[in-house]
Amino acid sequence: MENAIRSERSRAAILKAALVVIARDGVHRLTLDAIARESGLSKGGVMHQFRTKDAVLKALLEQQMADFERYSEAFLAGASSSVAEPTLAAQIVTIREVMDTPNLAALAILSILTTDQALRDAIVAIDAKKIAKIKAEAADPDEALLKWSAARGLLFTTMMGLSPFSKKERDRLFDRLLAQPAKAKKR
């Protein structure tokens, strides 16, 4: 049991050190050597946990995805029954929170997605489950999906420094996205 605890502490220290290196020096300077120096572990100790820089970036992405899910689940647990589309609301509130908590490592984590098809496929599968639940709860599934997509668009443009909106404007847009859905029109 002691080895498992020590291993988990080393893993956490490595991920924390990777975030520090990325925030301070940029993803292009993230190396296993840099992580070892920052964490105080030997390079062998780092490599025991993660064989490559990409493995570290994948672990950071998985950690952020798990944090995102925990935040979303906490919102759902505390949501009142008056929330018409709780899954959509949870996603929008979580996206807003993530965007309001800058994480300089986010771009580095996104960069791994450009080169790893299996990881992209895994994220698409996770999103497909969310989308199915959002559609099942929605009075107007298309409107719900547009809101979800708009929230993600606000997040990604802000993360990449491409958003033309001020914080005040983004907050207003998020409030609008969280507004009760319109009644579905008969088709």
Total count of domains within the chain: 2
My answer on whether 97 and 27 are in the same domain is no
Q: Which domain holds residue 30?
A: 1-51
My answer on whether 81 and 29 are in the same domain is no
Q: State the pLDDT at residue 103.
A: 62
My answer on whether 68 and 80 are in the same domain is yes
My answer on whether 58 and 46 are in the same domain is no
Predicted confidence (pLDDT) per residue in 26-82, tens digit: 778 889 999 999 999 999 999 999 999 888 988 888 888 888 888 888 888 887 777
Mean pLDDT of 125-142: 93
Domain membership flag for residue 80: yes
Domain membership flag for residue 185: no
My answer on whether 11 and 82 are in the same domain is no
My answer on whether 15 and 41 are in the same domain is yes
Predicted confidence (pLDDT) per residue in 13-41, tens digit: 999 999 888 878 877 888 999 999 999 99
**Three-state secondary structure along the chain?**
CHHHHHHHHHHHHHHHHHHHHHHHHCHHHCCHHHHHHHHCCCHHHHHHHCCCHHHHHHHHHHHHHHHHHHHHHHHHHHCCCCCCCHHHHHHHHHHHHHHHCCCCCHHHHHHHHCCCHHHHHHHHHHHHHHHHHHHHHCCCHHHHHHHHHHHHHHHHHHHCCCCCCCHHHHHHHHHHHHCCCCCCCCC
